[in-house]
């Protein structure tokens, strides 16, 4: 079995590759932009292919599966979202067509941000009309459209996933560092529900997509069906870290100010930060409506059932952060 993966050096991609390596009959081909920065893949049994989404190298003709995980979640220029998430996806399909490669399945990793907030307070279903609130969400939705264009030529599936956490993820570190100094920042979203996904559960969904018979063009929510609240995440983390925390209510106006400051600093440092004015649109939508997904289709089509509770996932994640000196 031959598998091609984009976004392979990233947080999610590296976990998928490690899981695939456990299978003796799998040969992995990883798209790498910089062969000198293999990150978590260094030393692994992989075929490294130098290139990017706009310069796809020659691929094996007998590829079985493609996992398109490459994308950007934060940037200093809004146009970059569309360049990478939409046009990069289109470029991948063009490369597959020009090389006459027809895999058994291609899975495109999208986001709940491409869909819509839970306007009615009920979990959002895949067939509801998308209403993204950010350029990131809109760009991922356009990436979905690029994927759907080819559903008659390639067996394709789209996975929409909410916030993914786990070892190697950097976006949650700042939050856990606050817990470490006994502060639980509450952003007015304490009663706003969200659908999280532990990275190993997401990887299992990818594995299941290789084993199940799916109709081409399916869009599937991947998340823990038990949604949670952000304060609950902090309280659970504090319990694991054995910290007695003090909840500090942070006014929404201060979060907006912090987003503006970090965005300005990012321009000077040329290093985009996860907290920016675009992200504030998602946070505002979460505060007002919540981001929760109906995962019934994942259960029915993939037999997907998360193996990790919030506490189990956070336990592994925090233990890893501590072992690496991130906390």
Span 87-104, mean pLDDT? 97
Cα distance between residue 49 and residue 28, in whole Å? 10
Cα distance between residue 26 and residue 33, in whole Å? 22
**% residues pLDDT > 70 (the chain):** 88
Query: Is the Cβ–Cβ distance between 142 and 84 less than 8 Å?
Result: no
Task: Supply angle C-alpha 108, 112, 118, rounded to 5.
Answer: 155
DSSP string, 52-98: BTTB-----TT--EEEE----S--SSHHHHIIIIIIHHHHHHHHHHH
Span 196-200, mean pLDDT? 97
Three-class DSSP category at 151: coil
228: left (phi over 0), alpha (psi -120 to 50) or beta: beta
Q: What are phi and psi of 3, to 5 degrees?
A: -125, 130
Asked whether residue 176 carries a pLDDT value surpassing 90, the answer given is yes
Grade residue 254 by pLDDT with cuts at 50, 70 and 90: low
Select from 295, 292, 275 the least CA-distant residue to 73.
Answer: 275
Fold of 2-169+196-225+291-307: Rossmann fold (3.40.50)
221: left (phi over 0), alpha (psi -120 to 50) or beta: beta
**Which spans in the chain are helix H?**
11-21, 78-81, 88-98, 135-148, 173-180, 199-211, 230-241, 252-269, 277-288, 296-302, 310-323
How many Cα atoms within 13 Å fall on the side-chain side of residue 62?
4
Q: What is the pLDDT of residue 50?
A: 97
Q: What is the pLDDT of residue 289?
A: 83
Write out the H or E segment, with its range, that includes residue 248.
strand 246-249
Grade residue 258 by pLDDT with cuts at 50, 70 and 90: low
Q: What is the pLDDT of residue 74?
A: 82
Grade residue 264 by pLDDT with cuts at 50, 70 and 90: low
Query: Which tens digits make up the pLDDT trace of 78-92?
Result: 899 999 999 999 999
C-alpha 266 chain-centroid distance: 22
Asked whether residue 260 carries a pLDDT value surpassing 60, the answer given is no
Cα distance between residue 195 and residue 298, in whole Å? 14
Between strands 27-32 and 2-6, the pairing is parallel
Span 149-159, mean pLDDT? 96
Dihedral of alpha carbons 190, 195, 201, 203, sign: negative
Residue 107 token pair = 């899975």
Query: Is the Cβ–Cβ distance between 250 and 186 less than 8 Å?
Result: yes
Q: Is the pTM higher than 0.75?
A: yes
DSSP 125: P
Between strands 193-194 and 228-229, the pairing is antiparallel
Query: Which tens digits make up the pLDDT trace of 267-320?
Result: 556 666 566 666 666 776 677 788 899 999 999 999 999 999 999 999 999 999
Q: What is the pLDDT of residue 257?
A: 56
Question: Which residue's structure tokens are 């190298």?
Answer: 57
């Amino acid at each position: 079995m031959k598998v091609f993966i984009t976004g392979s050096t990233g947080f999610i991609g590296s976990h998928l590759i490690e899981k695939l390596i456990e299978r003796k009959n799998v040969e992995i081909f990883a798209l790498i932009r910089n062969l000198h920065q293999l990150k978590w893949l260094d030393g692994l049994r992989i075929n490294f292919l130098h290139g990017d989404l706009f310069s796809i190298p020659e691929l094996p003709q007998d590829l079985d599966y493609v996992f398109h995980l490459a994308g950007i979640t934060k940037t200093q220029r809004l146009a970059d979202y569309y360049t990478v998430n939409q046009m990069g996806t289109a470029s991948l399909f063009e490369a597959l067509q020009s090389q006459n490669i027809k895999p058994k399945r291609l899975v495109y990793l999208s986001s709940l941000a491409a869909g819509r907030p839970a306007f009615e307070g009920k979990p959002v279903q895949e067939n509801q009309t998308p209403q993204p609130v950010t350029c990131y969400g809109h760009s991922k939705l356009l990436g979905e459209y690029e994927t759907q264009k080819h559903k008659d030529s390639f067996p394709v599936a789209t996975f929409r996933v909410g916030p993914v956490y786990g070892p190697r993820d950097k976006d949650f570190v700042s939050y856990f560092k606050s817990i470490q100094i006994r502060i639980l920042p509450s952003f007015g979203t304490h009663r706003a529900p969200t659908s999280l996904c532990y990275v190993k559960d997401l990887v299992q969904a990818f594995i299941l997509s290789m084993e199940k018979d799916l109709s081409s063009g399916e869009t599937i929510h991947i998340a823990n069906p038990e949604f949670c609240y952000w304060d609950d995440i902090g309280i659970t983390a504090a319990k694991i870290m054995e910290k007695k925390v003090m909840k500090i209510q942070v006014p929404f106006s201060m979060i907006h100010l912090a987003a503006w400051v970090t965005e300005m600093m990012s321009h000077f440092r040329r290093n985009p930060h996860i907290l920016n004015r675009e992200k504030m649109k998602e946070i505002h939508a979460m505060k007002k409506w919540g981001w929760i997904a109906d995962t019934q289709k994942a259960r029915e089509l993939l037999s997907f059932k998360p193996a990790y509770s919030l506490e189990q996932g956070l336990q592994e994640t925090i233990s890893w952060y501590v072992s690496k000196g991130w906390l």
